Amino acid sequence: MMRKFIQKYITRNDGASAIEFALLAPLLVFMLVATLDFGIFIKQKMMLQSMVSTTADYAMRTQSDDGLETVAEHAYGGNFEKITLSLDFECECSDGVAQICPSACGLNDYQRRFIRVEAEGTFEPIFPYPGIPENINIQSSARMRID
């Protein structure tokens, strides 16, 4: 009688799917969190690129660096405290040689002025993943011709 009971217990598969789920659930949750983390990284990278190009466009239109921090902060739309923003006006003659602004390029030559906006920030993943640093630097830059 005991033998029948044991054979019946061994051949039953009522809880097999629950055990399979219990074994696979941590892996599925890890994959979900990693995908979410990667999506947040891509979003921050795109926000930084958009902010840089918007700031460069504004500086190109106004030809000034007044109020660029405010423009960049509104364009970023996220936590702007971790972002380092730099702005430089560059000049070069028609032959492509960089000059100090304003430059005298010579007779029959003209000066081209550019604005360069660079931004740098850090991304911190939700969890420390093996092989991935705890802080990932995100950089973006834009260079536009003013005149």
Tell me which residue of 94, 114, 119 sits closest to 104, measured CA to CA. Answer: 94
pLDDT tens digit string along 98-123?
A: 777 776 777 777 788 888 889 999 98
pLDDT tens digit string along 6-60?
A: 777 677 777 778 888 899 999 999 999 999 999 999 999 999 999 999 988 888 8
Cα–Cα distance measured from residue 13 to residue 17, given in angstroms and rounded to the nearest whole number: 8
Q: Per-domain residue ranges for the chain?
A: 15-145
Residue-level pLDDT at 128: 84
Q: Containing H/E element for 120? A: strand 111-123
Residue 96 pLDDT exceeds 80 = no
pLDDT tens digit string along 62-93?
A: 877 788 888 888 888 877 788 888 888 888 88
